[in-house]
Homo-oligomer: A and B are copies of this chain.
Amino acid sequence: MPADVSLATVAAQAGVSVSTVSRIVNGETRRASPATVQRVRDAIEAVGYRPNPAGRALRRGETQLVAVLAANLDNPAMATIASSTEAALREAGYVMILCDTHDRPDLQDEYLAAMRVQRVSGLVMIAAVASPGLAEMAEAGVPMVFVTRRNPVGPGLFVGIDDRAAGAAVADHFVAAGCRAPAVVFPRRGSSASRDRVAGFIDRLAALGAAPDAIMRGEGDGLSHLQVGYDGAAGLFASARRPDAILCVSDQIAYGVARRAREAGIGIPDPCRLVSIDGTPLNQWVAPWLTSVRIPYPVYGAEIVAGLEAIRRGGAPAERLLPFAFG
């Protein structure tokens, strides 16, 4: 397919160097003989080469940088979002600068200040934290998109799922399966996504007749969701009334809960089933015992770029909620 045709293919076809092709593709024909220029143009025709718009813009000096600030690149979900965003940005003629804020407000602010001086064309905040610099950035008029977590300090275009609805769907799933002792494990310092998933789950169970205090809760501290799951499940498995179904608000929390279950000698999914919300591809390889609500992370990139360009065209920020499904 043409997308796979590279400068190198053109160079091989024309029998010249990649830099010669690169120069001619970008209009610098002085240093090449007319015959070479013609040979390269014929080769471009012959192999159907289409330049990468990002590369072309950069070579022309029209740098179009978009900064992506992610809270934690070790999290497979965020890495998948970053990867799909990079591909969508490249397709649209941008180059991505990726910064890892380690979920720290001070680093987020340093990078926001730096990217402002870089005159980036847009900012993608994957799991932003509240910080004074973030509030000021929103006023600076740089197009911003908030991903997985809503803007914690104001309005802003959000790309994600309906987290409350996802939590409610898991409640329905548990009730339909006849579960009698439901529980939920979540981070104590929760993001908007975590909070909404827990609230949707608990409200739906209550609406279906569960007494609020009948729903067991396990909270964990720290940034690592693996640890949050491991710590949050400890109390649940130690209690007299054992849960028979646990909502884990992320895949990594489910991995942590499963490790605790293993150590406590409790079988998954029987007698205790786990359902998580993420549906990262790794599950099918390492967690066949896990049911997960699948979030379409691979299409987030296209939605994020569409959102940035809508804002640049003066469009009003609106939610871009993507469909989820039981995986």
Binding site for B on A (CB under 8 A): 4-9, 11-12, 17-19, 22, 51-52, 54-55, 58-59, 61, 63, 73-74, 76, 79-80, 82-83, 86-87, 95-100, 102, 104-107, 109-111, 113-115, 117-118, 131-133, 136, 226, 255-256, 258-259, 262, 282, 284-288
Q: How far is the CA of A76 from the CA of B73 in the complex (A)?
A: 9
Further pairs besides A86-B98, A96-B97: 4, Cβ < 8 Å: A6-B105, A58-B113, A74-B76, A282-B286
A255 to B282, CA, bound (A): 9
Q: What B residues does A115 contact at CB under 8 A?
A: 58
Question: Complex: how many Å from CA A113 to CA B109?
Answer: 31
Q: Are A106 and B9 in contact (CB under 8 A)?
A: yes
Q: How many copies does the complex hold?
A: 2
- Name the prevailing secondary structure of the A interface residues: helix
- A8's partner among B79, B109, B255 (CB-CB below 8 A) is B109
Q: Give complex CA distance A6, B115 in Å.
A: 16
Q: With the chains together, A282 CA to B282 CA distance in Å?
A: 11
**A98-B98, A99-B86, A286-B287 given as contacts; is B118 within 8 A of A63 (CB)?**
yes
Across the interface, do A113 and B55 meet the contact criterion of CB distance under 8 Å?
yes
A132 to chain B, nearest CB (A): 4
Q: Is the CB of B286 within 8 A of A255?
A: yes
Contact B83 A136 (CB under 8 A): no
CA distance A61 to B73 in the complex (A): 27
The 10 closest A-B pairs by CB, nearest first: A6-B106, A286-B286, A98-B98, A58-B114, A52-B110, A55-B110, A8-B132, A55-B114, A73-B83, A18-B132
